[in-house]
Chain A
C-alpha cells in the first residue's frame, strides 16, 4: 500500500482499490450513488464519498478496510487520515426506487457498480422524491456520456409514478444531442 498516493487518489482508483480489498476478504459490495456518476461522467461531477451496499457486517468491513488504513468513524463512515475521500456503507438492499433487488451490475476490474442505466435511475430517484435538481443534472451527465437504455428508464419512471418528472429529464436530454 506504500505506493498509493492517498492524498491525490482519484475516485475510480480508490473504488477499485477498496473493492479489491473487500473482495480479498470475501466481502461482496456494490458501488452506488454519486461515485458512479463521477466514474461515468469522467469526473465532470466530483463525488467525495464512495457509497457501497454490502450484505456483510460492519464488523467484517471494519476489519477488511482497517488493513488499508481506513478507520470507522461515526455511523457507517470509514475515513483515512491522509485521504480526502471517504467510504460509506448505507443499509441495503441495492434498490432503485421501488424496484429491487437489482441483480445486473457493471464491473471495472475488481469494482462492481451500477450500470449506467441504473445509475441514471438512482439519480433520478433523488430528483423524483426530493425535487433535487443537482441529482437531475447528475442523471443528465451520465446519460450524455454513456450508452443508456432510455426505454427502460421511462418504464421505470412510470412504475415510480413519476412520468411528469421523467418528461422533464427527457426534454433536458433532448436539448443536448451528445447522448446515444
Chain B
C-alpha cells in the first residue's frame, strides 16, 4: 500500500500497528506480523532517528508510539488511516482487530 513511499513493508506495518494500537513493543510488533525481530528493531531505530516515533522504557519493555510532536503527525495519521482502511478485510481482521480491552488476571480463556 505505502511501502514504496516508506521504503519497505516493515515500516508500513509498524506505522499501521502504532496507529491502531497506539503503542507497541518490539516483540509484540514482530510477533503480530510474524516478522524477524532484527528487521523490526532496525526500522524502529530508523523511524525514531527521524523523529516519527518515540520510545519510553516501561519496566523492562521499551514502548514505541507515534511522536505526537512530529510536525507532520496529523497529515501522517490521516494518510495512514486512509491507507489502512483500504486494506483487504482479511488483513484488517488478522492484524488490526486484536483484543485491546482489559482482561482480568486469572480469568479463564477459551481454547
B62 on interface, CB distance cutoff 8 Å = no
A125-B69, A129-B69 known; A75-B49 Cβ under 8 A: yes
User: Which residues does chain A contribute within 8 Å of B73, judged by CB atoms?
Assistant: 98
User: Which residues does chain A contribute within 8 Å of B51, judged by CB atoms?
Assistant: 90-91
Interchain CA distance A76-B69 in the complex, whole Å? 18
A75-B49, A91-B50, A91-B51 known; A129-B68 Cβ under 8 A: yes
- Is B49's CB under 8 angstroms from A97's CB? no
Query: What are some 19 contacts across the A-B interface (CB < 8 A)?
Result: A75-B49, A76-B49, A90-B51, A91-B49, A91-B50, A91-B51, A93-B71, A95-B69, A95-B71, A97-B69, A98-B71, A98-B73, A98-B74, A100-B71, A125-B69, A126-B69, A129-B68, A129-B69, A130-B68
User: Which residues does chain B contribute within 8 Å of A100, judged by CB atoms?
Assistant: 71
| Secondary structure class of chain B's binding surface, majority of residues | loop
Q: Report the minimal beta-carbon distance from A125 to chain B, rounded to whole angstroms.
A: 6
B14-32 to A contact mask, C-beta < 8 Å, 1/0: 0000000000000000000
- For chain B, the count of residues having a C-beta within 8 Å of the partner chain is 8
- List residues of A (53-102) whose CB comes within 8 Å of B's CBs: 75-76, 90-91, 93, 95, 97-98, 100
In the A-B complex, the 10 residue pairs with the closest CB atoms: A95-B71, A129-B68, A91-B51, A100-B71, A91-B50, A75-B49, A125-B69, A129-B69, A90-B51, A93-B71
Most buried by A among B51, B68, B69, B73: B69
Residue of B nearest to A93 (CB): B71
Q: Report the minimal beta-carbon distance from A161 to chain B, rounded to whole angstroms.
A: 11
Residue of A nearest to B51 (CB): A91
Residue of A nearest to B49 (CB): A75
